[in-house]
Amino acid sequence: MPENRIDATFAKLAATGGKALMPYVTAGYPNLDVTAELLAQIPSAGASVIELGIPYSDPIADGPVIQESFTRALARGLRIQEVFETVRKVRDKTDAPILSMVSFSIVYRIGVAAYITQAADAGFDGLILPDLSLEEAPAIAERTADAGLRLVMLVAPTSSTDRFEQIARISQGFVYYIAVAGTTGERDRLPSDLPDNVRRLRKIGGKPVCVGFGISRPEHVRDVCRVADGAIVGSAIVRRITAAVDNGASDEVIVRQITDFVGDLATGLT
């Protein structure tokens, strides 16, 4: 089985002292053509890993900006098989790792084995299941590993010590640390306990730790990457897509604006 792209990316970054920028894109928003172009183009702007959100009618951890993108994508009749096909089509254009952030309800409805197989065949490299219970996680992690994928788990600053440690050990590829309690969204500043919690997670799990929720500017990326292995940016990107759509921008303009914004965020890595 070939090396997982997530593992390969973080190994390469570790060898060079680099850090990862991980943009989040909502699949099918504003349409699948834009999704495909973003997946193909933003790696050249500085994206190391891409998190592709699968729209769901009852999102768990997403704030209003991403919820709105889900609503609009679903209103257009987006189907999960179309997302798989879109990733499959762009795989010859980029080697950047792509993660599927998806509700476990969707995975369960399709069937755990079927979803994992289809995701791997499409060219995904891992899954983030924000509503997966800790009790079910080890079995899912075993299935993803068998398929050559990685199960990335989220851990919050409010997690109990036991949960904190279990997630650090179970998570594959990297650990997704939620910088602030609550839903996704942009914040003005990052919490003071972030450095200690990131170091603790890395020490327990022995894996890279990436930080998301509230990161929206190059200086945020810079601050996070002083202690973490990567920064995840979601709402700030989706908000710009929505603004462009509402202003009547063409698909080409939307792709260019978001690619440029990812490039701006990437300046925080240097």
* Ramachandran angles phi, psi of 21, nearest 5°: -105, 125
In a domain? residue 54: yes
Residue 242 has a pLDDT of 98
Residue 186 has a pLDDT of 42
Q: Which member of 3, 37, 58, 62 is catalytic? A: 62
In a domain? residue 258: yes
pTM of the shown model: 0.94
Show the CA angle centred on residue 231, arms to residues 48 and 226, nearest 5°: 110
Q: How many domains does the chain have?
A: 1
In a domain? residue 194: yes
In a domain? residue 270: no
Nearest to 178 by CA among 134, 213, 221: 213
Domain of 13: which CATH number?
3.20.20.70
In a domain? residue 91: yes
Told to judge if 62 belongs to the known catalytic residues of this protein, a careful annotator would answer yes
Residue 58 has a pLDDT of 75
Q: What is the extent of the structural domain holding 174?
A: 5-264
In a domain? residue 269: no
- Which tokens is 174 given? 């990297």
CA distances, 80 to each of 18, 113, 160, 204, 252 (Å): 34, 15, 34, 35, 24
**Parallel/antiparallel/unpaired status of strands 209-212 and 230-233:** parallel
Average pLDDT, consecutive stretches of 10 residues, N- to C-terminus, the chain (270 residues): 94 97 98 98 98 86 84 96 98 96 95 98 97 96 98 93 95 92 49 87 96 92 95 96 98 98 96
Residue 188 has a pLDDT of 55
In a domain? residue 26: yes
Told to judge if 51 belongs to the known catalytic residues of this protein, a careful annotator would answer yes
Q: Which member of 7, 51, 125, 229 is catalytic? A: 51
Show the CA angle centred on residue 29, arms to residues 98 and 99, nearest 5°: 15
Residue 183 has a pLDDT of 42
In a domain? residue 35: yes
